């Protein structure tokens, strides 16, 4: 039998790194998931502000908008004055369209917290999609002047039942985009067809990435992403931060088919 002490030190460290790299945390429902998500945001915000004076957060749409907004607004003394918020992807519709992710966050969150307008990096939805992507690229470069690819402190992602994340869809050429920070997409299989999206080099540069995925419609794809041999066929499986943390925060219905070991936190859990 080989004891851990007999492994070369690098193997032990690598094993630990692999084990520590991805944490799959399962909650009975989004009611229990929400407060832990809010705690994760605040903990990474506190760490970021003390280390470099601001907290950069990338947001996604879908059910995340209401889960995150509700939980953050429930926190006492929420201070977002040093937050810089961007969008992992955005639908190219006007801000007052119910499909606009920015519009939803504005009404549910931004209008109720003290984030400065200058801290919200939005697309210009009046531009054609290619120019919109260039304009948003310029805004991100200005916000992250020292980085080849913007290094966000935390990115919050969702995953569709087809395994897409951001607006990076299965079998789409954008999955291979290696140079752009932001890419336009005009043929999104999920409406609306025109969107802009962060690319994988940006997503995987983040200090911390957290997926939030709930509901039984995610069970099959979640198993494929976390356990399957299909691997990179699912865009969400390509989210492997180069040196950052990766969390999957899911509920029991989404986790129903998993056989890997997961964490089941008790109350008061901190991530």
Ligand X SMILES: O=C(O)[C@H](O)[C@@H](O)[C@H](O)[C@H](O)COP(=O)(O)O
Closer CB to ligand X, 63 or 220, in the complex: 63
Q: Candidates 2-10, 57-65, 169-177, 201-209: pick the segment binding ligand X (CB under 6 A).
A: 57-65
The DSSP call for residue 65 is: H
Spell out the residues 6+ positions from residue 84 whose beta carbon is closer than 8 angstroms to its own.
Answer: 54, 55, 56, 57, 119, 121, 143
Least distance between ligand X and beta carbon 150 (Å): 19
The single residue among 63, 66, 107, 257 that binds ligand X, judged by CB under 6 A, is 63
CA distance 133 to 130: 5
According to CB under 6 A, which residues from 177 to 216 bind ligand X? 190
Q: Does 220 bind ligand X (CB under 6 A)?
A: no
Q: How many chain residues touch ligand X (CB under 6 A)?
A: 11
Which contacts (CB < 8 Å, 24+ apart) does range 169-174 have? 169/235, 170/233, 170/234, 170/235, 174/199
Residue nearest to ligand X (CB): 62
Q: Does 235 bind ligand X (CB under 6 A)?
A: no
The backbone region for 201, taken as left when phi is positive above 0, alpha when psi lies in -120 to 50, beta otherwise, is alpha
Is residue 247 within 8 A of residue 211, CB to CB? The reply is yes
Q: Per-residue string for binding with ligand X, 157-176, x by CB under 6 A? A: -xxx----------------
Q: Does 43 bind ligand X (CB under 6 A)?
A: no
The candidate with the shortest Cα–Cα distance to 93, out of 135, 60, 122, is: 122
Is residue 260 within 8 A of residue 35, CB to CB? The reply is no
Least distance between ligand X and beta carbon 83 (Å): 20
Q: Does 224 bind ligand X (CB under 6 A)?
A: no
Q: Does 61 bind ligand X (CB under 6 A)?
A: yes
Q: Does 60 bind ligand X (CB under 6 A)?
A: yes
The single residue among 44, 91, 207, 238 that binds ligand X, judged by CB under 6 A, is 91
Q: Does 62 bind ligand X (CB under 6 A)?
A: yes
The residue whose two tokens read 């005009």 is 186
Contact footprint for ligand X (CB under 6 A): 60-64, 89, 91, 158-160, 190
């Amino acid at each position: 039998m080989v004891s851990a002490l007999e492994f070369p030190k690098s193997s032990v460290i690598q094993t630990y790194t692999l084990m520590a790299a991805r944490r799959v945390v399962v909650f009975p429902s989004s009611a229990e998931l929400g407060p832990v998500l809010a705690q994760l945001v605040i903990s990474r915000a506190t760490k970021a502000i003390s280390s470099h004076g601001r907290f950069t957060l990338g947001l996604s749409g879908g059910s995340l908008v209401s889960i995150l907004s509700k939980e953050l607004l429930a926190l006492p003394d929420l201070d977002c004055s040093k937050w810089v918020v961007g969008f992992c992807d955005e639908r190219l519709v006007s801000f007052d369209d119910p499909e606009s992710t920015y519009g939803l966050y504005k009404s549910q969150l931004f209008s109720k917290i003290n984030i400065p307008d200058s801290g919200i990096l939005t697309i210009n939805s009046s531009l054609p999609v290619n120019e919109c992507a260039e304009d948003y690229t310029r805004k991100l470069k200005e916000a992250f002047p020292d980085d080849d690819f913007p290094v966000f402190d935390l990115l919050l992602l969702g995953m569709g039942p087809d395994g897409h994340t951001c607006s990076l869809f299965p079998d789409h050429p954008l999955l291979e985009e290696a140079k752009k920070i932001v890419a336009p997409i005009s043929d999104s299989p999920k409406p609306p067809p025109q969107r802009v999206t962060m690319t994988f080099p940006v997503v995987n540069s983040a200090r911390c990435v957290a997926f939030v995925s709930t509901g039984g419609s995610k069970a099959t794809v979640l198993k494929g992403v976390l356990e399957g041999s299909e691997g990179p066929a699912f865009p969400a499986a390509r989210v492997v931060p180069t040196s950052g943390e990766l969390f999957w925060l899911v509920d029991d219905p989404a986790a129903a088919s998993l056989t890997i070991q997961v964490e089941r936190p008790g109350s008061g859990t901190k991530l």
